[in-house]
Amino acid sequence: QCEKCGTSLSPTELINPKSALSGAKPELRNTTNWFLPLDKLSADLRAFLESRENWKPNVIGQCMSWLNSGDGLQPRAMTRDLNWGVPVPIEGAQGKVMYVWFDAPIGYISATKKWAAENGKNWEDYWKAKETQLVHFIGKDNIVFHCIIFPSILEAHGEFILPENVPANEFLNLEGRKISTSNNWAIWLHEYLNDFKDMQDSLRYTLTVNAPETKDNDFTWKDFQARNNNELVAIFGNFINRVFVLTHKYH
């Protein structure tokens, strides 16, 4: 999956693929996998999406781009050949595990079941009762999984509620690049609090006004400095100062 645009690519579409660690070239092999028939579920999925009101345009737009692209939704492999992961619990699937995109959303339900069992609650009240609302707060790289794949699984089962809303944000980049903790391209909170003592609200403000609610935004230190000096200090600070001066003078 492309980290910049979110497009899913088949390995066969990659130009001259090779391992970044060893330089070895991958080879194609025959194998057997189980697929989620999204093509057969797309009509119900479209009806579900069209029934939802007040969803963010970036969320609906990405979903419809999947439904309306080329031949529409296609079957998607939900198993893979790995020696770690959740085993596929059917005959003939030895050595197969579930893809995390298929297994992880189901984990929402199983986690609820575990919590309910430990606290004397009924887990079905949270997943099958019509008065319950399911809302996913996610980033845009997870829109496809929470708005297309998971609802398709739930609707195919037939007994579960579907997401009421998925208010997904776009990406917040750092100085023009995707934030990556593995590449150490991030702002580490403990370092920020050490370098900018007692200025946590300045960071909260900058992140809030720059939130990527409908499009990708960029965090830069120059913008952080400008917002702190020009907006918090000059505008808001001046307003607070005037309020206190007038209050002290007249009251």
Do 56 and 49 contact (CB within 8 A), yes or no? Answer: no
What average pLDDT does range 115-140 have in this prediction? 96
The CB density around residue 108, as the number of other CB atoms within 10 Å, is 15
Query: What single letter denotes the amino acid at residue 74?
Result: Q
Is a pLDDT exceeding 80 seen at residue 130? yes
d(CA 141, CA 154): 20
DSSP 8-state class, residue 87 = B
Instruction: Please tell me whether residue 174 adopts helix, strand or coil conformation.
Output: strand
Six-digit token pair at 166?
Answer: 């998925």
Instruction: Please tell me whether residue 177 adopts helix, strand or coil conformation.
Output: strand
- Nearest-5° Cα angle at 236, 231 to 237: 105
Q: What does the pLDDT look like over 56-112, one tens digit per residue?
A: 999 999 999 999 988 899 999 999 998 889 999 999 999 999 999 899 999 999 999
- pTM, entire model: 0.78
Determine the pLDDT at residue 71.
85
Determine the pLDDT at residue 107.
94
Q: What does the pLDDT look like over 211-230, one tens digit per residue?
A: 999 889 999 999 999 999 99
Confidence band of 161 (pLDDT split at 50, 70, 90): very high
